[in-house]
Amino acid sequence: MTRPTKDLRQMMLSRAVVFTILATSLLAATGFAEAQQQQGGRPQGAPPEAIKACAGKAVDDACSMTMRGKGDTVSGQCIATPDKQIACLPEGAPLPPKS
């Protein structure tokens, strides 16, 4: 068996490096997509309209707000969010997770 030439070894090494870079990029992109999917593709925290609906109010006060995108007005109750804000939680909505 003959040994590969220096040029052949360099070409094989270059291909290995390119493959490693591509594989790493694919894994990073997959991890980012999974993280987005776990968050539901939405930013964390109460939406601005929920915070605005409880401006000047206390926890447990009644509130109402217009839902973003739908235009529906909903009633709810002001709650303390995990990030220490007061926001309107619509009736029937689950409480946010505690951090």
Q: What is the pLDDT of residues 56-78, one digit of tens each?
A: 999 999 999 998 787 889 999 99
Average pLDDT of the chain, as a whole number: 80
**pLDDT of 1 above 90:** no
Do residues 54 and 48 make contact, with C-beta atoms less than 8 angstroms apart?
Answer: no
Structure confidence at residue 96 as a pLDDT band (50, 70, 90): confident
| Domain shared by 56 and 85, yes or no | yes
Q: In this structure, are 54 and 25 located in the same domain?
A: no
Single pTM value for the model: 0.55
Measure the CA–CA gap between 2 and 71, rounded to whole angstroms.
75
Do 1 and 38 fall within a single domain?
Answer: yes
30 lies in the same domain as 4:
yes
d(CA 85, CA 49) in angstroms, rounded, equals 13
pLDDT at residue 52 greater than cutoff 60: yes
Would 97 be classed as within a structural domain? no
Give yes or no: residues 39 and 59 share one domain.
no
The answer to the question of residue 86 being in a domain is yes
Total tally of structural domains belonging to the chain: 2
**Structural domain includes residue 98:** no
Domain extent at residue 62:
48-90
Determine the pLDDT at residue 14: 79
Task: Give the C-alpha separation, 67 to 84, whole Å.
Answer: 22
